[in-house]
Chains A and B, each alone.
Chain A
Amino acid sequence: MMENKMERKLDEMIDRYREGKISRRAFMKYLGIAAAAAGIAGGPFGLARNAFGAKSITFHSWGGSTSEALRKYAFDPFTKETGIEVIDAAFTGMDAFLTQVKASYPPGGEFNLAHLSAVYDYARYKNLGFNSVLDESKIPNLKNVLPKMIDTLRAITDGKLSAVPYDYGQTGIAYNTKYISKENAENLGASLLWDKSLKGKLGSWGGDFRTNMWYAALHTGQSPNNITRLNDVWDALREQRELMKKYWASGSELMSLLANDEVYATVAWSGRVANLQAEGHPIGYLAPDNTYSWMEYMYVLKGTDMDVAQKLLNFMLEPEPAIAVAEGQKYPPSLDPRKVSLPKSIKKLPAFDPTGTLDGYLFADPEYWNSHQLEWTEKWDRIKAGA
């Protein structure tokens, strides 16, 4: 447990260092202390402690402020109340986590709960046979969750649930207001990412073909969930590549690029933009029509102790921890504002829906995108590499 906490702290420090929040000297000092502590606490003693440890469950999430908020407002109080330890860890990305789960299958208890993103991945886990079935009667707080989010998941798992929706957000466009005016950004919309005057100062998420194709579809005047002129999308992405400075690989890299003026405009996760704004960086957020919306959910993997998992999920859906986590990670919670009173801090988050219906939010159609995943990923990789 001590090693786990140490690893967690180290991950956080790396995130903070990359985001420029701490100096290299402070980072190196922490690294030295962590190494010494790991030497003392690790090894056979650590193993023995784990073997005789209390009942526990593993939880994988995004690291940084998200994990910090989950730990402080959900896991620690849950452990205090039930005595069940939540061993949380950060994954480097959705794909990397799915690879780990696949490598560990059949389930051996290594992976229990995960804070996953996007409905198409919910479908992928189901298609790979990694899904569990929740007993909803043991999660009474589900009644507070936005119905549209629940229904979306139910439709994929034959009316049942393998996860509880927890938050939602958007991949919009972040732009540096020192160099790009709000008016100009709004006029250009998605085409801001193709603005030739920003050559060498644009960024995008290199790890996801959907995000890039989505915006290329908007730029070429098509519906992202029904692209009819595919070649136009590829041509647009090729054209955009010549304007790009960096295809970023992680949220912290995105924040670092924006905070250090390396890029002036990029696709960006709404919560990360809110974090940058909260830190005082001159970053604007643009959500053009049909902005890429997505939801996140707490997924329970097959082979998990369902009683423990359901108890934890119900606890996490209590308004107090759910709101606190949302404030920490800057994504609106899945709580229905018609049933739960939400504070101002939540209502002003980017992508928040005050109606609770999520009407007008365009999500990726899991069937459409998953059916082309391999072909389009390969194509995207080629374009990114210069082909």
Chain B
Amino acid sequence: MKSDKWKPWALLAPSLTAVFLLLVIPVCFVVVYSFWLRAPSGGDIPAFQFGNYAKFFADFFYPSLVIRTLRVALETVVLCLVMGYIPAYFFYRTESKLKPFLMILIMLPFWISFIIRTLSWINILGDTGLINHVFIKAGVIDNPLPMLYNEGAVLMGLLQYLLPFMILNIYVSLEGIDKSLTEAAKSLGCTEWQAFKEVTLPLSLPGVSAGCLLVFVLTCGTYLPPMILGGPGNDMIANLIFKRIVGTLDWPFGSALSTILLALLGVIVYTYNRYLGINQIFKTLQ
């Protein structure tokens, strides 16, 4: 038995090496950079000081962007949950021969570049886009509705990006539920709604919680939808990090912002694990 102990590690070695080289080391670099200083020329000065962190906390502008990011992430989670549970439940219950085709439709957006998918909303929501065009032609409105370059458009962009993640997580969880349980509940007098509320919904919660966590974390780190579909005042923390690193070559402060975001998400994931259990995520994958 003792001689077999190395085997799991040998099997894990390629993945662990990849994670270490491609994730742990770069993150360590980011953390180290966050203590450095920016030279007036845009170069970096190695140092160990907390000025970049002090700058973040000394000015409410930076925390306010984090708060906005968390708010948008929560809104996205709620929208994805509401809009994702229904199709996932439908896939679970349907006996239709079209089910595999419908599942492919859910996966279809992944075949198209995220940037292209985001850009396409300009042609739909814009002043001369599809919706306004149809409404104006139909005489419903005289002037275009302002649907683009605001927070609503950003949420729409995030929704189309993240909804498949939510649907798939919930669906995988639902698929693991024995359908005879709901039949048993109904045979004991439950209505269809009661059977869903008392049996199906609680058993699908691991998938719901996994989907929520995934959507939340991905939203916090995204910057393309606010950049392409957002208007003045819709930037999120990732946009600011991008500007600091690329726009002003202020890698140390950009790294400090990244580290703060990482730490914040770490705390959220830890708390989530503490009260809901991160193992729920893995259950949905079984």
Partners in one complex: yes
Besides the known contacts A246-B149, A384-B235, 17 further A-B residue pairs in the complex with CB atoms under 8 A apart: A14-B115, A24-B123, A95-B249, A98-B42, A124-B41, A200-B146, A245-B231, A249-B227, A249-B228, A260-B122, A260-B126, A371-B40, A377-B248, A381-B240, A385-B232, A385-B233, A385-B240
Report yes or no: A207 in contact with B61, Cβ–Cβ below 8 A: no
Closest residue to A20 on the B side, CB-wise? B123
**Cβ–Cβ < 8 Å partners of A262 in chain B:** 126-128, 148-149
Interface size class on chain A is 35 or more
Instruction: Judge whether B43 is part of the interface by a CB distance below 8 angstroms.
Output: yes
Report yes or no: A374 in contact with B248, Cβ–Cβ below 8 A: yes
**Cβ–Cβ < 8 Å partners of A386 in chain B:** 232-233
**Cβ–Cβ < 8 Å partners of A371 in chain B:** 40
A138 to B61 Cα, complex, angstroms: 53
Cross-interface CB contact of B235 among A27, A124, A127, A385, cutoff 8 Å = A385
Report yes or no: A96 in contact with B232, Cβ–Cβ below 8 A: no
Report yes or no: B119 in contact with A127, Cβ–Cβ below 8 A: no
Report yes or no: A24 in contact with B120, Cβ–Cβ below 8 A: yes
Report yes or no: A374 in contact with B232, Cβ–Cβ below 8 A: no
**Cβ–Cβ < 8 Å partners of A245 in chain B:** 149, 231
**Cβ–Cβ < 8 Å partners of B120 in chain A:** 24
A71 to B245 Cα, complex, angstroms: 31
A207 to B227 Cα, complex, angstroms: 11
Instruction: Judge whether A148 is part of the interface by a CB distance below 8 angstroms.
Output: no
Which of B149, B232, B250: most chain A CB closer than 10 A?
A: B232
Instruction: Judge whether A9 is part of the interface by a CB distance below 8 angstroms.
Output: no
Instruction: Judge whether A48 is part of the interface by a CB distance below 8 angstroms.
Output: no
* Given A246-B149, A374-B248, A377-B248, A128:B41 Cβ within 8 A: yes
Which 7 A/B pairs are nearest by Cβ-Cβ distance? A127-B41, A386-B233, A246-B149, A377-B248, A99-B246, A260-B128, A244-B232
Instruction: Judge whether A382 is part of the interface by a CB distance below 8 angstroms.
Output: yes
A99 to B254 Cα, complex, angstroms: 13
Give residues of chain B (115-174) contacting chain A, Cβ–Cβ below 8 Å.
Answer: 115-116, 119-120, 122-123, 126-128, 146, 148-149
Query: Can you spell out 25 A-B residue pairs with CB atoms less than 8 angstroms apart?
Result: A14-B115, A17-B119, A24-B120, A31-B113, A31-B116, A95-B248, A102-B43, A102-B249, A128-B43, A200-B146, A241-B232, A245-B149, A246-B149, A247-B231, A260-B126, A262-B127, A262-B148, A371-B40, A373-B248, A374-B40, A374-B250, A377-B243, A381-B243, A384-B232, A385-B235
- The digit string for B229-256, where 1 denotes a CB below 8 A from any CB of A, is 0011101000010010111111000000
A-B interface pairs (CB < 8 A), number: 87
**Cβ–Cβ < 8 Å partners of B40 in chain A:** 127, 371, 374
CB distance from B15 to the nearest CB of A (A): 23
Closest residue to B62 on the A side, CB-wise? A382
A245 to B232 Cα, complex, angstroms: 7
Dominant SS among interface residues on chain A: helix
CB distance from A28 to the nearest CB of B (A): 8
**Cβ–Cβ < 8 Å partners of B245 in chain A:** 99
A247 to B231 Cα, complex, angstroms: 7
Give residues of chain B (23-77) contacting chain A, Cβ–Cβ below 8 Å.
Answer: 38, 40-43, 61, 64-65
Instruction: Judge whether A340 is part of the interface by a CB distance below 8 angstroms.
Output: no
Report yes or no: B43 in contact with A385, Cβ–Cβ below 8 A: no
Report yes or no: A99 in contact with B233, Cβ–Cβ below 8 A: no
Instruction: Judge whether A195 is part of the interface by a CB distance below 8 angstroms.
Output: no
Report yes or no: A99 in contact with B149, Cβ–Cβ below 8 A: no
- The digit string for A86-120, where 1 denotes a CB below 8 A from any CB of B, is 00000001011011001000000000000000000
**Cβ–Cβ < 8 Å partners of A124 in chain B:** 41-42
Closest residue to B55 on the A side, CB-wise? A378
Closest residue to B242 on the A side, CB-wise? A96
Report yes or no: A207 in contact with B231, Cβ–Cβ below 8 A: no
* Given A245-B231, A377-B248, A381-B240, A261:B41 Cβ within 8 A: no
**Cβ–Cβ < 8 Å partners of B243 in chain A:** 377, 381
* Given A99-B249, A246-B149, A385-B235, A374:B38 Cβ within 8 A: yes
CB distance from B160 to the nearest CB of A (A): 15
Report yes or no: A102 in contact with B42, Cβ–Cβ below 8 A: yes
Report yes or no: A260 in contact with B232, Cβ–Cβ below 8 A: no
Which of B61, B116, B246: most chain A CB closer than 10 A?
A: B246
Cross-interface CB contact of B232 among A18, A95, A247, A378, cutoff 8 Å = A247
Closest residue to A373 on the B side, CB-wise? B248
CB distance from B207 to the nearest CB of A (A): 32
CB distance from B114 to the nearest CB of A (A): 13
CB distance from A158 to the nearest CB of B (A): 16
Cross-interface CB contact of B42 among A28, A127, A244, cutoff 8 Å = A127
Cross-interface CB contact of B127 among A31, A93, A260, cutoff 8 Å = A260
CB distance from B286 to the nearest CB of A (A): 33
Report yes or no: B119 in contact with A18, Cβ–Cβ below 8 A: yes
Closest residue to A249 on the B side, CB-wise? B227
CB distance from B205 to the nearest CB of A (A): 37
**Cβ–Cβ < 8 Å partners of B127 in chain A:** 260-262
Closest residue to A376 on the B side, CB-wise? B248
Report yes or no: A377 in contact with B247, Cβ–Cβ below 8 A: yes
**Cβ–Cβ < 8 Å partners of A18 in chain B:** 119
Cross-interface CB contact of A246 among B115, B123, B231, B235, cutoff 8 Å = B231
Closest residue to B38 on the A side, CB-wise? A374
Give residues of chain A (105-145) contacting chain B, Cβ–Cβ below 8 Å.
Answer: 124, 127-128
